[in-house]
């Protein structure tokens, strides 16, 4: 008899799991609803973290694809005390000319002027962002011509009314018809489509070759934007793109460009430069920080659902302890120790949590894949996300199961046996 009693002094893991499953099956509906809380919490963690990581990877890949040597100069909007914009200085075409001729370490430099204008074809009319560029534009942006050709030096010199479209813009304007050689009007002037970029895709909302409308910069100045592109009698540019000769000289080029702009616009070293001069590496670092913070924030929101599920487990286990008081008293009467009772109830809560964790991982992965298949965003399901979700569920089960298990283990046998 003594040998039989010693069975309860140790921890029989398989036996406790069987007891736990039997206890859960005895009230299937209640157990299913309890597991559902964990399922929803884990699914939220997996889905939101996967979508967040997918968005982060998509943004960083798109920025990195522009080239680590790319430097962008653009005008910063500054605001006065009343909240209105203060155009303290405009980026000038002469700035581009001086950068091109006097700054070393540059492979290509391209001036850009952009503005919103009406585009019309025989079937469609809508407003788009029109960008005037030079023939060197493809040296600094990694777009690929899918049909036709790009803007040439001859187009620039002759103010030709030609246009290169992104694939999405071409589909929108011409309703899926082949756009090459077709006519469209920009601000009432007729242009000929000479090229279309290959589809690159953009699910992050960032600019891509799919949504651009490019025309010769000289044509943009003379025939589209006119005086809008002038400031104090000088032509302005929206931005200047620079491709450094190597990544090693990017910082030096940025420093030289800033000094040149200060000299051109008569600014001292202590005055705020009204222009942003930044590299893709800096932009990538900033975007990575922001997107990582956003992903962590989404994970924290999902964790709240998981905690709610854990509270549900603790609630149900407290009810279970009350319902099984006589059973606990009987087990203690025949030799079960506090440790055995504690372990039994902890395993029961862990079983609920693990079941919920597995089902939640499957549901969360399915939700993330659905977003990918629908083309909303490319979710990125990683092993560390799945492991984090699973172990979070297990920890939640353990944490919220300790109190009910402790309550069960502290019951006195004689009191428990008398419980009605």
As a whole number, the mean pLDDT across the chain is 81
Asked which of 218-227, 273-282, 349-358, 406-415 is least confident by mean pLDDT, the reply is 406-415
- What is the span of the domain harbouring residue 135? 77-273
pLDDT at 66: 61
Residue 133 · residue 217 · CB < 8 Å: yes
Is the model more confident about 151 or about 141?
151
Q: Clarify whether residues 225 and 352 are in a common domain.
A: no
pLDDT at 191: 95
Instruction: Determine, yes or no, domain membership for 69.
Output: no
d(CA 230, CA 247): 34
Q: Clarify whether residues 136 and 267 are in a common domain.
A: yes
Q: Clarify whether residues 129 and 192 are in a common domain.
A: yes
Q: Clarify whether residues 53 and 162 are in a common domain.
A: no
Asked which of 124-138, 166-180, 273-287 is least confident by mean pLDDT, the reply is 273-287
- Residue 101: burial class (beta carbons within 10 Å; 0-12, 13-18, 19+): exposed
- What percent of the chain is predicted at pLDDT more than 70? 82
pLDDT at 240: 94
d(CA 31, CA 27): 6
pLDDT at 3: 43
Q: Clarify whether residues 328 and 414 are in a common domain.
A: yes
Instruction: Determine, yes or no, domain membership for 70.
Output: no
* DSSP track, 142-181: ---EEEE----HHHHHTT--EEEE-HHHHHHHHTTS--TT
Whether the pLDDT of residue 43 is over 70: the answer is yes
Is the model more confident about 151 or about 305?
151
Instruction: Determine, yes or no, domain membership for 349.
Output: yes
pLDDT at 394: 85
pLDDT at 346: 81
Instruction: Determine, yes or no, domain membership for 72.
Output: no
pLDDT tens readout for residues 52-76: 888 777 777 766 666 558 889 988 7
Q: Clarify whether residues 250 and 320 are in a common domain.
A: no
Find the mean pLDDT for residues 210-237: 91
Which of 233, 248, 273 delimits the end of a domain?
273
Q: Clarify whether residues 330 and 216 are in a common domain.
A: no
Q: Clarify whether residues 293 and 253 are in a common domain.
A: no
pLDDT at 2: 43
pTM greater than 0.85:
no
* DSSP track, 331-347: HHHTT--HHHHHHHHHH
| Torsion angles phi and psi, residue 201, rounded to 5 | 80, 140
pLDDT at 111: 95
pLDDT tens readout for residues 153-207: 999 999 999 999 999 899 989 887 889 999 999 988 999 999 999 887 654 344 5
Query: Of 120, 126, 124, nearest to 188 (Cα)?
Result: 120
- Total domains present in the chain: 2
Q: Clarify whether residues 300 and 250 are in a common domain.
A: no
**Cα atoms in the 13 Å half-sphere on the side-chain side of 49:** 23
Residue 82 · residue 72 · CB < 8 Å: no
Q: Clarify whether residues 304 and 348 are in a common domain.
A: yes
Cα 152 to chain center, whole Å? Answer: 37
Find the mean pLDDT for residues 245-270: 89
Residue 260 · residue 102 · CB < 8 Å: yes
Instruction: Determine, yes or no, domain membership for 83.
Output: yes
Q: Clarify whether residues 143 and 104 are in a common domain.
A: yes
Question: Is residue 42 helix, strand or coil?
Answer: helix
**Distance between the two ends of the chain, CA-based, in angstroms?**
29
Whether the pLDDT of residue 23 is over 70: the answer is no
Confidence of residue 9 (pLDDT cuts 50, 70, 90): very low
Find the mean pLDDT for residues 237-250: 88
pLDDT tens readout for residues 350-401: 888 888 889 999 999 999 999 888 877 788 888 888 888 888 888 888 888 8
Which of 273, 302, 335 delimits the end of a domain?
273
Whether the pLDDT of residue 420 is over 70: the answer is no
Confidence of residue 84 (pLDDT cuts 50, 70, 90): very low
Residue 224 · residue 189 · CB < 8 Å: yes
Q: Clarify whether residues 146 and 183 are in a common domain.
A: yes
Residue 313 · residue 400 · CB < 8 Å: yes
d(CA 414, CA 399): 29
Segment holding 150, helix H or strand E: none
In sequence order, which residues have a C-beta less than 8 Å from that of residue 372 and are 6 or more positions away?
54, 378, 379
Which of 221, 249, 273 delimits the end of a domain?
273
Instruction: Determine, yes or no, domain membership for 71.
Output: no
Is the model more confident about 65 or about 141?
141
Whether the pLDDT of residue 41 is over 50: the answer is yes
Is the model more confident about 398 or about 7?
398
pLDDT at 6: 41
């Amino acid at each position: 008899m003594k040998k039989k009693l010693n069975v309860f002094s140790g921890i029989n893991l398989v036996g406790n799991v069987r007891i736990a499953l039997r206890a859960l099956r005895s009230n299937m509906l209640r157990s299913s609803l309890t597991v559902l809380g964990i399922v929803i919490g884990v699914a939220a963690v997996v889905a939101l973290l996967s979508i967040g990581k997918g968005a982060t990877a998509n943004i960083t890949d798109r920025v990195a694809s522009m080239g680590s040597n790319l430097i962008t100069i653009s005008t910063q909007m500054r605001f006065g005390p009343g909240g209105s914009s203060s155009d303290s200085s405009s980026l000038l075409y002469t700035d581009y000319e001086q950068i091109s001729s006097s700054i070393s370490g540059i492979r290509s430099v391209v001036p850009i002027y952009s503005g919103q204008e009406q585009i019309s074809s025989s079937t469609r009319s809508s407003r788009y962002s029109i960008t005037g560029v030079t023939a060197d534009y493809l040296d600094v942006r990694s777009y690929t011509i899918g049909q036709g050709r790009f803007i040439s030096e001859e187009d620039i010199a002759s103010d030709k009314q030609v246009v290169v479209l992104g694939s999405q813009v071409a589909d929108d304007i011409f309703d899926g018809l082949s756009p090459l050689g077709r006519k469209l009007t920009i601000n009432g002037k007729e242009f000929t489509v000479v090229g279309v970029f290959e589809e690159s895709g953009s699910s992050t909302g960032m600019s891509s070759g799919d949504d651009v409308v490019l025309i010769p910069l000289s044509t943009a100045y003379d025939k589209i934007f006119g005086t809008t592109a002038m400031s104090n009698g000088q032509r302005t540019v929206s931005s200047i793109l620079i491709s450094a000769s190597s990544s090693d000289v990017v910082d030096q080029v940025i420093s030289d460009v800033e000094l040149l702009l200060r000299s051109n616009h008569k600014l001292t070293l202590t005055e705020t430069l009204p222009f942003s001069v930044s590299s893709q590496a800096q932009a990538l670092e900033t975007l990575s920080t922001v997107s990582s913070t956003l992903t962590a924030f989404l994970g924290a929101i999902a964790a709240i659902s998981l905690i709610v599920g854990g509270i549900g487990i603790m609630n149900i286990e407290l009810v279970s302890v009350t319902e099984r008081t006589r059973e606990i008293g009987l087990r203690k009467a025949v030799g079960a120790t506090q440790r055995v009772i504690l372990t039994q109830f902890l395993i029961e809560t862990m079983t609920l949590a693990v079941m919920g964790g597995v089902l939640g991982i499957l549901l969360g992965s399915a939700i993330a894949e659905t977003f990918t298949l629908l083309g909303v965003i490319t979710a990125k399901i990683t092993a560390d996300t799945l492991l984090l979700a699973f172990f979070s569920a297990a920890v939640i089960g353990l944490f919220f199961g300790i109190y009910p298990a402790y309550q069960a283990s502290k019951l006195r046998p004689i009191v428990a046996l008398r419980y009605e």
